[in-house]
Amino acid sequence: MRGTLPLLLLLSILSLSFAGELWSYRVDGAATARPAVIGDNAVVGTENGAVYALSQGQVRWTQRFNGSVSAVAAMGDRAVVAAGNRVYAIGPTGSILWNSDARGVRGISASDKVYVSYDAGIKALDDRGQLSWFYNVTLPTEPSSEAAGYVVFGSGNKIVALRSDGQKFWEQEVGPSWDVAPLVWSGTVFAGTSEGKLYSINLYTGQVLWEYRAGDMITTTPAHAGAYIIFGTAGGNVYAVNNGELIWGAKVDGMANGKILIDGNVAYLSTRKSLYAINVADGGIIMRRQFVDWPSPPALSGGAVVLGTAEGRVYAIDSSRGCGFVFPEPDSVVGDADVAVRGSSFSKYGGVKTYLRLNGGEWSEVGGEEWGYALNPSAFPFGVITMECYVSDSSGLEAAPFSSITLIKGEVAKQLMRVQYPSTAKEGEPFTIIVVGMDGHPLDDVSATMGGQAFEGSGEITITPGVSGRQEVAVSKRGYEDAEFAVEVKPQPTLAYVAAAVFLLAAAGYAYFGYIKIKK
């Protein structure tokens, strides 16, 4: 069995189903830069220098450059692309409007101008590609130009704010930055460091308002959802904070990358394996979609979450509804013991019903927004167990599946069970025992023996003692250690006992009435 596990793990990845997939498109190479959304087009670049404008899975235009495409941004109806050592502007029909040298480009941001960070510093280009200004700084991060009149970026141990004319406004010592842009929102700069601190800085004064210690390298641009600031770390943690206080934390399957997408009450983010949808209210995992190879940070286009992958395919995932598995972890190795599967679902239309199927079998309804299912792995042979879920809602539309995970059925240590039972019983009268796992969920297909008799049940077993005295009971289920206990079985009254009782009652009556007669 041990020798087959690596193969089974590979098969589990390749067999994952589409998480509410609306469309996909094959491009000519790895597409790990975040797509830019321009109108109804998602513009995606590849490591082979190709740029595609895709709408509903159809190509609107393509363009090709010398050098890998490392970044794509939107500037009105234009796409701005960093490819090789140059930056290009592409018009609405795919024609090249201008280009500019940018050796060692590190990131781009577009608003009133195109702001380019590269090894030599930050430069601003106007809408014709002409240099507006240059600011000399060492190895700047991707810049943020979200706030009109300001450009903010990290460099070395500092966060730097420039005015839109290129003049330095302020700088603040914070510690080394990961190569992602800070967030500028509501007059505040939010920036993470490689030392695991998130800083909140007043945009207009450069004063630190608060800091939060995550304890792990912050590897995403922070995002805001209402009052919450959400960010991810290299260790696979996602946090939401408010005014420097932790609101919730969530665990993902690896380092969170790039920018986090907020769509209503859902935060979408990518790791090196998967796309996650997380409930911004409480950090619950709504959906996880695993990919063969490294998905890009997501963007929102036409109501779909769009992202590229290192395998050379662009995907559009339904953002209006979804479901995901909270427990167990994908690719977990399980034995014969029951697994209490838990998940959550959502829909913008309400009326959520969640359905589940195993290994391509029949769909079964398992609940609504919060759901569970008792999986009995003993019913499956060694190998891959695939679980898929889908959602129906008030819109009447259904699409399946939305999400799936795989488990590996293998050899694992037996688990413990808990049994609730009475200490005494009566001969010939049934009593009930309750059998649950250590997490409290009832166990199905359990058997018990007592006095040579066999009994079966799920969650509860009814046992009828055949003889009196101290009786040993053994409870067993595949994948669990046997549980044993004793019950003291009291005998039922016999005919002799009944006759003696009648005699005593008669004697007592005779004595009583005799006493009354003598007294009179």
Query: Which of these three, 412, 444, 470, is where a domain ends?
Result: 412
pLDDT tens, 100-144? Answer: 999 899 999 999 999 999 998 999 999 999 999 999 999 999 999
pLDDT at 516 over 80: no
pLDDT at 376 over 70: yes
Band the pLDDT of 463: cuts 50, 70, 90.
very high
Q: What is the pLDDT of residue 178?
A: 83
Q: What are the two backbone dihedrals, phi and then psi, of residue 9, each rounded to the nearest 5 degrees?
A: -65, -40
Judge if 60 and 204 occupy the same domain.
yes
Q: What is the pLDDT of residue 495?
A: 53
Q: What is the pLDDT of residue 348?
A: 82
What's the pTM value of the predicted model, to 2 decimals?
0.74
Q: Name the CA dihedral angle for 495, 497, 498, 501, rounded to a multiple of 10 degrees.
A: 160
Band the pLDDT of 262: cuts 50, 70, 90.
very high
pLDDT at 412 over 50: yes
Which pair of structure tokens corresponds to residue 284? 């619950």
Tally of structural domains, the chain: 3
pLDDT at 234 over 80: yes
CA pair distance 275, 70, nearest whole angstrom: 20
Query: Which of these three, 412, 442, 461, is where a domain ends?
Result: 412
3-state secondary structure of 382: coil
In contact, 107 and 117? CB cutoff 8 Å: yes
Q: What is the pLDDT of residue 57?
A: 93
Judge if 481 and 405 occupy the same domain.
no
**H/E segment holding residue 322:** strand 321-327
Residue 237, strand partner residues: 251
Q: What is the pLDDT of residue 22?
A: 86
Judge if 394 and 495 occupy the same domain.
no
Three-point CA angle 280, 404, 361, nearest 5°: 140
Q: What is the DSSP string of 433-479?
A: EEEEETTSPBPSSEEEEETTEEEEEBSEEEE---S-EEEEEEEE-TT
10 Å CB burial of residue 197 (0-12, 13-18, 19+) is: middle
Judge if 49 and 191 occupy the same domain.
yes
CA pair distance 508, 495, nearest whole angstrom: 20
pLDDT tens, 73-92? Answer: 999 999 999 999 999 999 99
Please report, rounded to a whole number, the percentage of residues in the chain having pLDDT higher than 70: 90
Core vs surface per residue 393-426: b (16+ CB within 10 A) or e: beeeeeeebbbbbbbbbbeeeebebebebeeebe
Judge if 94 and 243 occupy the same domain.
yes
CATH at residue 342: 2.60.40.10
pLDDT tens, 335-349? Answer: 999 999 988 888 888
- Domain of residue 201: give its range: 27-259+305-313
Judge if 146 and 4 occupy the same domain.
no
CATH at residue 93: 2.130.10.10
Judge if 103 and 247 occupy the same domain.
yes
Which pair of structure tokens corresponds to residue 206? 């450069």
In contact, 253 and 274? CB cutoff 8 Å: yes
In angstroms, the Cα distances linking 62 to 22, 43, 310 are 21, 9, 19
Q: How far is CA 503 from the centre of its chain?
A: 76
Judge if 392 and 477 occupy the same domain.
no
Query: Which of these three, 390, 412, 434, is where a domain ends?
Result: 412
Judge if 255 and 380 occupy the same domain.
no
pLDDT at 159 over 70: yes
- Neighbour order of strands in the sheet with 41-45: 36-38, 41-45, 50-55, 58-64
Residue with tokens 């770390």: 233
CA pair distance 440, 253, nearest whole angstrom: 27
3-state helix, strand, coil in the chain (%, to 5): 10, 55, 40
Judge if 83 and 151 occupy the same domain.
yes
Closest CA to 170 of 150, 142, 140: 150
pLDDT tens, 283-321? Answer: 988 888 878 789 999 999 988 999 999 999 999 988 888
Q: Name the CA dihedral angle for 219, 225, 227, 232, rounded to a multiple of 10 degrees.
A: -20
Q: Residue range 447-468: average pLDDT?
A: 92
Q: What is the pLDDT of residue 512?
A: 62
In contact, 191 and 198? CB cutoff 8 Å: yes
Judge if 494 and 510 occupy the same domain.
yes
Judge if 255 and 276 occupy the same domain.
no
**H/E segment holding residue 500:** helix 495-519
